[in-house]
């Protein structure tokens, strides 16, 4: 039977959203090509997860080993190489995440499987696999095809598929696979510990109004311009990643996949292009307003209102107008 | 002092014996910056028009070369930068030399065109497998095609361990302790045995600027160019022929949500915005 294999992702006792997103995307493909959906779950004491996953797949393969309580690419690679080698699935789906980026390229290479990464769409047409990915700052999409192979591998961008629970639940069977790991598999790479980012005074994720500044601000000395605007609208100041990378604002102000998720009533993005890693952090926002001089900036694909102009010209005027209205 | 010899992994700095001199290879890419540019698809339908776009070192690689230079300053050793690309890529190599890299190598043949992430790693591998190194740094991804694939693939080809999305590096006793960036502000600390490949994430350090003296120094340095034959590769193994994946076509994404643009001069825009905010009850 043709099989699509999804790698379940979990961390610190929770299955990650990407798992359910991939399973939903995979299910559509399985329906289309008549394939079985299998999910691989690697970890320790994860039987509860297996039960949850059984609702989403025909089979849950579970490999438990105390030494993979936390993700380790070397150990995961050994287990998955064995599973893929034996089962020869048509398609393997892994998250384009901190886990997938550390695992998929070496796993695919070791098995000589064609891989493409960071996919936002997948389709099989006439037996051929097509993957869609976004390139050049999200301004163009690329369609990728593969050399004929027994197995293909893709990594999937977070948020590319909306998770949906199958109705009725699929009631998949749970198959325990003995761990093939030995201590040797941990001889060159070891997990040590997690470190949590330090908490700052302001919690941007709890704010009703968030004004975010991006690389368009050009220089640290211009940040007060946006900060004052944020104050005028009664919001907190947040930012995109490059602002934190440059040390212009602390990490707890960063919105996005590797920073904070915000859910304000109003989100104003100033000089931010709208990379998916940023957009992942503002999905739950009410009204989104973007100020950007480039009308083609991807941020305008998610914004409700757009202002196409030089932020240095328009932000001071916006600030004064709002202060004037508030004064009345 | 007589008794202290400079051996492979021991050198002397200010009269102090320092161990673990490191030879580091940094893989870099020369990329167009499209964040603020108008992007159009070229007649082939498989690439964008590159004329007029500003090119520079890939943002992630800029952090990788900085990390290599910091490690060299701390441990001693040599930094070699390597790229796969045509002559224009020399600009990025020269920038790295100006910052303090010791040697630069460019791998190029016309047949490399169309190489995917895997094949780019294979080309790098064919050069690096004959070199002496303790550590390889790459950017975690490239800002143009964003595969985030080359570093980890290269590690597998070389048969050495790797870590991706690296935000902190500490070398000690033949191991490197790294912080890997995970989602939501979380990091993981991991130990990786050397030699290894680390794919560097932005924000790990503060990349230095290029000095005038550095540019002068770099201008005198030779950039070694290696082609297909020197790399022991054949045309069938590289480019589109050798790549397991192929970029079939490009297209401009469909807009699903319709944004309402507020137009006019800044004061008109301000009034319109104020109205929106009032309507939505956020002001
Ligand atoms: C693993 C990983 C995790 C990441 N996590 C995050 C994350 O959590 N959060 C995040 O934000 N990013 C994250 N990134 C980075 C992300 O990919 C982008 O690089 C980043 O979001 C870009 O920030 P930006 O929009 O501020 O800058 P750019 O993309 O450089 O955009 C700047 C924008 O400003 C506009 N502009 C310039 N000048 C002006 C002006 N005078 N007036 C008006 N507009 C102007 C430009 O048109 C452009 O659209 C991550 C990347 C990786 C690989």
CB B190 within 8 A of CB A75: no
| Tens digits of residue pLDDT in B219-232 | 999 999 999 999 99
Does the bond joining B195 to the residue before it have cis omega, within 30 degrees of 0? yes
For chain A, which residues score pLDDT lower than 70?
Answer: 328
Burial class (CB in 10 A: 0-12, 13-18, 19+), A133: buried
Q: Is the CB of A179 under 6 A from ligand 1?
A: no
CA dist., res. A138 & res. B143, Å (int): 10
Distances (CA, A) of B79 to A213, B39, B156, B221, B261: 36, 35, 22, 14, 50
On average, the pLDDT of chain B sits at: 93
At B9 the pLDDT is 59
Q: Say which CATH topology domain B2-237 has.
A: Rossmann fold (3.40.50)
At B1 the pLDDT is 37
Task: Find the B7 Cα to ligand 1 centroid distance in Å.
Answer: 46
CA dist., res. A188 & res. B194, Å (int): 8
Question: Is-same-fold flag (A3-186; A204-325)?
Answer: yes
Residues in chain B: 283
| Tens digits of residue pLDDT in A136-166 | 989 999 999 999 999 999 999 999 999 999 9
Is the pLDDT assigned to residue B89 strictly greater than 80?
yes
Task: Find the B138 Cα to ligand 1 centroid distance in Å.
Answer: 21
3-class DSSP string for chain A: CCEEEEECCEECCEECHHHHHHHHHHHHHHHHHCCEEEEEEEECCCHHHHHHHHCCCCEEEEEECHHHCCCCHHHHHHHHHHHHHHHCCCEEEEECCHHHHHHHHHHHHHHCCCEEEEEEEEEEECCEEEEEEEECCCCEEEEEEECCCCCEEEEECCCCCCCCCCCCCCCCEEEECCCCCCHHHHCCEEEEEEEECCCCCCCHHHCCEEEEECHHHCCHHHHHHHHHHHHHCCCEEEECHHHHHCCCCCHHHEECCCCECCCCCEEEEECCCCCHHHHCCCCCCCEEEEECCCCCCHHHHCCCEEECCCHHHHHHHHHHHHHHHHHC
pLDDT band at B282 (very low <50, low <70, confident <90, very high): confident
At B7 the pLDDT is 46
Beta bridge partners of A305: A289, B260
Distances (CA, A) of A181 to A39, A42, A43, B19: 20, 12, 12, 34
Q: Is the CB of A256 under 6 A from ligand 1?
A: yes
pLDDT band at B123 (very low <50, low <70, confident <90, very high): very high
Proportion of chain B above pLDDT 70, given as a percent: 94
At B157 the pLDDT is 98
At B19 the pLDDT is 58
Q: Which of B34, B35, B146 to mutate to test the pocket of ligand 1 (most atoms within 8 A of CB)?
A: B35
At B5 the pLDDT is 44
Is residue A130 within 8 angstroms of chain B, CB to CB? yes
How are beta strands B77-84 and B10-13 bridged, if at all? unpaired
Candidates A10, A15, A137, A246: best to mutate against B (most CBs of B within 10 A) is: A137
Give one DSSP letter per residue of B174-193, joined into a string. TEEEEEEE-GGGEEEEEEEE
Q: Is the CB of A297 under 6 A from ligand 1?
A: yes
Proportion of chain B above pLDDT 90, given as a percent: 86
Which of A190, A79, A189, A102 has the alpha carbon at shortest distance from B195?
A189
Domain boundaries, chain B: 2-237
| Tens digits of residue pLDDT in B94-117 | 999 999 999 999 999 999 999 999
pLDDT band at B17 (very low <50, low <70, confident <90, very high): low
Which of A236, A304, A297 has the alpha carbon at shortest distance from B272?
A304
CB A310 within 8 A of CB A291: no
| Tens digits of residue pLDDT in B158-214 | 999 999 999 999 999 999 999 999 999 999 999 999 999 999 999 999 999 999 999
Q: Say which CATH topology domain A204-325 has.
A: Rossmann fold (3.40.50)
pLDDT band at B12 (very low <50, low <70, confident <90, very high): low
Which CATH number is A3-186's, of 3.20.20.60, 3.40.50.620, 3.40.50.1700, 1.10.340.30? 3.40.50.620
Exposure string for A95-127, b = 16+ CB within 10 A, e = fewer: bbbbbbbbbbbbbbbbbebbbbbbbbbbeeeee
Domain boundaries, chain A: 3-186, 204-325
At A197 the pLDDT is 79
**Which residues lie closer than 8 Å to B216 by C-beta, 6 or more apart?**
none
pLDDT band at B280 (very low <50, low <70, confident <90, very high): confident
Classify B18 in phi/psi space as left (phi over 0), alpha (psi -120 to 50) or beta.
beta
At B6 the pLDDT is 45
Name the residue in chain A with its Cα closest to that of B116: A116
Of B48, B183, B191, the CB nearest to A140: B48
Is residue A312 within 8 angstroms of chain B, CB to CB? no
Residues from chain A that touch B143, judged by Cβ atoms under 8 A, are: 137
pLDDT band at B3 (very low <50, low <70, confident <90, very high): very low
CB B188 within 8 A of CB A191: yes
Contact criterion met (CB < 8 Å) for B193 and A187: yes
């Amino acid at each position: 039977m043709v099989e699509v294999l999804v790698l379940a992702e979990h961390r610190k006792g929770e299955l990650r959203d990407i798992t359910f997103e991939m399973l939903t995307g995979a299910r559509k493909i399985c329906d289309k090509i008549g394939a079985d959906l299998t999910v691989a779950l690697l970890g320790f004491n994860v039987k509860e997860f297996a039960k949850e996953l059984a609702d989403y797949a025909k089979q849950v393969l579970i490999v438990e080993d105390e030494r993979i309580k936390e993700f380790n690419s070397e150990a995961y690679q050994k287990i998955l190489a064995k599973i893929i080698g034996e089962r020869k699935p048509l398609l393997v789906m892994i998250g384009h995440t901190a886990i997938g980026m550390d695992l998929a390229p070496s796993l695919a290479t070791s098995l000589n499987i064609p891989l493409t990464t960071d996919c936002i769409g997948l389709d099989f047409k006439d037996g051929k696999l097509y993957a869609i990915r976004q390139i050049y700052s999200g301004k163009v999409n690329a369609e990728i095809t593969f050399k004929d192979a027994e197995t293909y591998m893709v990594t999937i961008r977070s948020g590319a598929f909306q998770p949906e629970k199958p109705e009725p639940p699929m009631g998949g069977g749970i198959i325990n696979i003995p761990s093939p790991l030995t201590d040797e598999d941990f001889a060159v790479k070891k997990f040590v510990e997690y470190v949590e980012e330090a908490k700052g005074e302001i919690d941007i994720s709890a704010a009703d109004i968030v004004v975010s500044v991006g690389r368009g601000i050009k220089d640290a000395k211009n940040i007060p311009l946006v900060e004052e605007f944020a104050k005028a609208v009664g919001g907190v100041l947040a930012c995109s990643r490059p602002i934190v990378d440059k040390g212009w604002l602390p990490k707890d102000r960063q919105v996005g996949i590797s920073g904070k998720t915000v859910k304000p009533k109003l989100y104003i993005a100033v000089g931010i292009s709208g990379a998916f890693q940023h957009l992942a952090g503002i999905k739950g926002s009410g009204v989104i307003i973007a100020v950007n001089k480039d009308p083609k900036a991807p941020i305008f694909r998610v914004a409700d209102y757009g202002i196409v102009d030089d932020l240095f010209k328009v932000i001071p005027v916006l600030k004064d107008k709002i202060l004037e209205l508030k004064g009345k | 002092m007589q008794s202290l010899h400079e051996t492979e992994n021991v050198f002397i700095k200010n009269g102090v014996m320092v161990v673990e001199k490191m030879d580091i290879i940094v893989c870099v890419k020369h990329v167009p910056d499209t964040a603020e540019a108008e992007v159009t698809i070229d007649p082939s339908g498989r690439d964008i028009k590159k004329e007029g776009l500003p090119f520079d070192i890939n943002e992630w690689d800029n952090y990788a070369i900085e990390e290599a230079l910091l490690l060299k300053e701390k441990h001693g050793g040599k930094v070699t930068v390597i790229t796969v690309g045509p002559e224009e890529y020399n600009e990025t190599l020269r920038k790295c030399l100006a910052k303090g890299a010791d040697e630069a190598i460019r791998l190029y043949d016309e047949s490399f065109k169309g190489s995917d992430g895997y094949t780019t790693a294979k080309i790098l591998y064919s050069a690096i497998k004959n070199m002496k190194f303790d550590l390889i740094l790459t950017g975690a991804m490239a800002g143009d095609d964003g595969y985030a694939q080359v570093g980890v693939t290269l590690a597998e080809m070389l048969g050495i361990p790797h870590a991706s999305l690296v935000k902190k590096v500490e070398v000690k006793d033949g191991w490197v302790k790294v912080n890997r960036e995970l989602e939501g502000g979380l990091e993981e600390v991991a130990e990786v045995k050397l030699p290894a490949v680390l794919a560097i994430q932005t924000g790990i350090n503060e990349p230095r600027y290029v000095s005038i003296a550095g540019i002068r120094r770099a201008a005198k340095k030779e950039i070694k160019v290696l082609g297909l034959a020197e790399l022991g590769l054949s045309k069938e193994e590289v480019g589109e022929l050798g790549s397991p994946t192929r970029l079939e076509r490009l297209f401009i994404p469909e807009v699903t949500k319709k944004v309402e643009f507020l137009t006019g001069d800044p004061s008109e825009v301000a009034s319109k915005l104020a109205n929106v905010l009032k309507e939505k009850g956020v002001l």
